[in-house]
Amino acid sequence: MAVDFGRTIAEVNETTLLRRLALASLVANIGLVVTGAAVRLTGSGLGCPTWPKCTEASYTTTREMGVHGVIEFGNRLLGIALGLIALATFIAALWRKPRRRPLVLLSLAAGLGIPGQGVIGGITVLTDLNPWVVGLHFLLSMALISVTWALWQRTKEGDAPTRVLVAAPLRHLAGLTALVSAAVIVVGVIVTGSGPHAGDEDAKRNGLDPATISQVHADLVFLLLGLSVALWFALRAASAPAPAIRAAAVFVAVELAQGLIGFVQYFTHLPVVLVAAHMLGACLVWVATLNTLWRLRDRPAPATPEPALPSATTKASRADEADPARVVA
């Protein structure tokens, strides 16, 4: 059977481009969390005191705004860059032939989240860094990380139905672990809203007792660690596929690192460097959570057709074309 080798190469190139853009979108969303933490930790949350403009008269920062204006405006610029990456990803998903509906929908969802971030960011500024709105800003970032992670993974798969790789009890344990992981992140946001790093010296806190809510957070962390270790042992005992076992092991390792940072930052009175590392760690914990869930199933990758080898008849035909005298003979 003849194969359009040029079309096959084009499909591979289009898929590679989309995969790279999806990864860039995932990394950029994580980067936005880190730069947002930098804004808050340097007290630059109101470096641009209005929105969508940076000042009443300018969309960009001015010399009078100082370093806080530069930091806040830089974070806004990263949001614009993230939007451009999301737009490019959506166009690449539309351009790819054959077009795959799941990739188009995921890239569209990732793109629509960017304006949502901008709106919530504007409300954050206009409400003088209300801690609950700031927390919502972070949680939307985690949702976008979920979407871009799924998009990146789906570019490596086909569109056939998923195949379950482990028994139902293991899937239930993994689901419970993921729910506790999400709870850890949500309560961590509340802890942040009760702490000293408000993003501006005049910004209000959520009024909760930091010690009490931190203890709740720590309890959930211990529960998460216990569940994830149990999941790792259970997958090993059930002879689950190696990728699933490795994903669970990485999950435990990331949790341990994140927990260590969390305890050190608490007992050293929240130094800004460790708080920023903890924010990055929260993103990595969630990515590790998603990775663990993802490895408990698979979906066959789309087959790449091989170029057809020329048959003897084809070779003879080409020889005739090259030497018309043979045809006459």
Tens of pLDDT, residues 279-315: 999 999 999 999 999 999 998 765 544 444 444 444 4
Question: Where are any strands of DSSP class E within the chain?
Answer: 163-164, 297-298
Residue range 126-152: mean pLDDT, rounded: 92
pLDDT value of position 324? 46
Same domain, 213 and 96: no
Same domain, 99 and 206: no
Query: What is the rounded CA–CA span in Å between residue 79 and residue 276?
Result: 18
- From 97, 124, 159, the end of a domain falls on 159
Same domain, 39 and 119: yes
**CB burial string 223-243: b at 16+ within 10 A, e below:** bbbebbbebbebbeeeebeee
- In this predicted model, which residue has the larger pLDDT, 297 or 270? 297
pLDDT reading at 317 higher than 60: no
pLDDT value of position 62? 79
- From 103, 131, 159, the end of a domain falls on 159
pLDDT value of position 303? 53
pLDDT value of position 299? 86
* Torsion-angle region of 224 (φ positive above 0: left; ψ -120 to 50: alpha; else: beta): alpha
Position 319 in a domain = no
pLDDT, tens only, 203-231: 788 888 988 998 999 999 999 999 999 99
Same domain, 297 and 202: yes
Position 312 in a domain = no
Same domain, 102 and 126: yes
Same domain, 195 and 130: no
Same domain, 189 and 279: yes
Same domain, 23 and 108: yes
Provide the domain limits for residue 276.
160-301
Residue range 262-281: mean pLDDT, rounded: 87
Whose CA is closest to 28, among 63, 77, 95? 77
Q: Are 216 and 187 in contact (CB under 8 A)?
A: yes
Whose CA is closest to 32, among 109, 126, 133, 143? 143
Position 102 in a domain = yes
Mean pLDDT computed over every residue of the chain = 84
Position 314 in a domain = no
Instruction: Supply 18's token pair.
Output: 């989309």
Q: Are 39 and 165 in contact (CB under 8 A)?
A: no
- In this predicted model, which residue has the larger pLDDT, 171 or 317? 171
Query: What is the rounded CA–CA span in Å between residue 37 and residue 42?
Result: 8
pLDDT, tens only, 4-42: 434 444 555 778 899 999 999 999 999 989 888 888 777
pLDDT reading at 198 higher than 80: no
Query: What is the rounded CA–CA span in Å between residue 325 and residue 329?
Result: 6
**Structurally, how many domains does the chain consist of?**
2
pTM of the model: 0.83
Report whether the peptide linkage leading into residue 241 is cis, meaning its omega lies within 30 degrees of zero: no
Residue range 243-272: mean pLDDT, rounded: 92
Position 1 in a domain = no
Same domain, 169 and 59: no
- From 105, 129, 159, the end of a domain falls on 159
Residue range 102-116: mean pLDDT, rounded: 94
pLDDT value of position 1? 45
Same domain, 230 and 93: no
pLDDT reading at 116 higher than 50: yes
Position 293 in a domain = yes
pLDDT reading at 150 higher than 60: yes
Position 210 in a domain = yes
Position 207 in a domain = yes
Length of the chain: 329
pLDDT value of position 280? 93
Same domain, 16 and 155: yes
Report whether the peptide linkage leading into residue 52 is cis, meaning its omega lies within 30 degrees of zero: yes
Same domain, 153 and 167: no
